[in-house]
Structures are given as C-alpha cells and as structure tokens.
Amino acid sequence: MMARATLGGMAPFADSLDLGRLQLSAGEGRRLDLEVGIDPFDYGGQRYAVEPARIPVRLDISRTTGSGFALRLRFDARLDGPCMRCLGEATPTVEVDAREVDQPGSGDELTSPYIEDGELDLRGWARDALALATPAQVLCREDCAGLCPVCGEDLNEVGPDHAHEPEPDPRWAKLSELKLD
C-alpha cells in the first residue's frame, strides 16, 4: 500500500504527492515537511540499509510560469552497512540537497523523471538523491586503516605497529649459498 499525501490534514508520511492538488498559481511556493521511507540500496557492490524508517524531509515546491514546478528536497539519512575498507560496520550520515525542475512542453531536458501527470514520486526521488549524495567510499570512520594486504587482519584493531618480515629476495638467497673463495 503506497502512502500518498493529500491536501487537508497533510499526511506527513508520503511515498508520492499530487502536486496539482496544492493549487499553486504561477510564482507561488509551498514548503512541506514530510516523512518518507527509503528502501535498502546496493552501492559499490554492498548493501546499505537506510535509517530511520521514516526520514523527515523538507520539500520546497514552486510553481513556475506555465504549468511547471521547481522542487528542492532536503534531508539527512543514516546508512548502515559494511565499511568499504575494513568490512566492519559503517553508519555514515549523508546530507541530501536535491533539485528537480519539471517544465512540460519545454524540451526533454526540463522534465523530471519523478513527476508524471502532476504526481511526484517522492520515494523514488529520495532514494536516487541519497545514492547520488553518498560518498564513493563508505567508511566506518574517515581514517579507517583497512585490512592488512598480507594477512587480512583488521589494522584498526591490531594497531599501527603491525608489520610482516619482508619476503627474502630469492636472488639474495642464491647468493648466500655461493662459496666465495
């Protein structure tokens, strides 16, 4: 069942929003504080849950001249999944500030994929905007030391002194066998 915000006792939890029902005239704007749920998403080969289950979002809607809309969506969400360096738990907070313009009849570049027949797909937009705002490297902490490339130990736990004897160079081994008279 999709939650849908309606005018008159605006439901704060919304997957989609009927923009036409706001009955904004050209140049008029409206700010809505809503809540949206975002499904877990795959990123960099890992899966990340998105918290909280109901994310408070701020949606600014402006009616443009003609029958278009300019939208701005802002929210913070916390990801929960593996650190890309050490595979421990990473729970970074991602700040999202996304904009969309939908201006029908003005050419392809000004139509939003999230607006169809005046209906805003808030859940889809929020998910994609979050994925775009997520850093390329999701880390447990900024200076995560990662795993030892030789033995796979978590370098955050074993400490900076962790090291391995360098493998003896086989050419030196051969040399040491030579008997020099």
Where does this chain bind Zn ion (CB under 5 A)? 83, 85-86, 88, 140, 144, 148, 150-151, 153
| Measured torsion, CA atoms of residues 120, 122, 123, 125, in degrees rounded to the nearest 10 | 90
Question: Residue 134 Cβ, how far from Zn ion at the closest point, in Å?
Answer: 16
A 10 A CB-CB count for 34 gives 23
Residue with smaller CB distance to Zn ion, 101 or 139: 139
Question: Residue 148 Cβ, how far from Zn ion at the closest point, in Å?
Answer: 3
Residue from 29, 149, 43 nearest 86 by CA: 149
How far does the chain reach from its first CA to its final CA, in angstroms?
Answer: 89
Residue with smaller CB distance to Zn ion, 68 or 81: 81
The whole-angstrom distance between residue 104's C-alpha and the CA centroid of its chain comes to: 28
Residue with smaller CB distance to Zn ion, 9 or 168: 168
Residue with smaller CB distance to Zn ion, 151 or 178: 151
Let me know how long the chain is. 181
Question: Residue 78 Cβ, how far from Zn ion at the closest point, in Å?
Answer: 16
Question: Residue 47 Cβ, how far from Zn ion at the closest point, in Å?
Answer: 16
What phi and psi values does residue 117 have, to the nearest 5 degrees? 50, 40
At 181, list the tokens: 């008279």
Residue with smaller CB distance to Zn ion, 87 or 101: 87
Buried b (16+ CB within 10 A) or exposed e, 139-160: bbeeebbebeeeeeebbbeeee
Question: Residue 133 Cβ, how far from Zn ion at the closest point, in Å?
Answer: 20
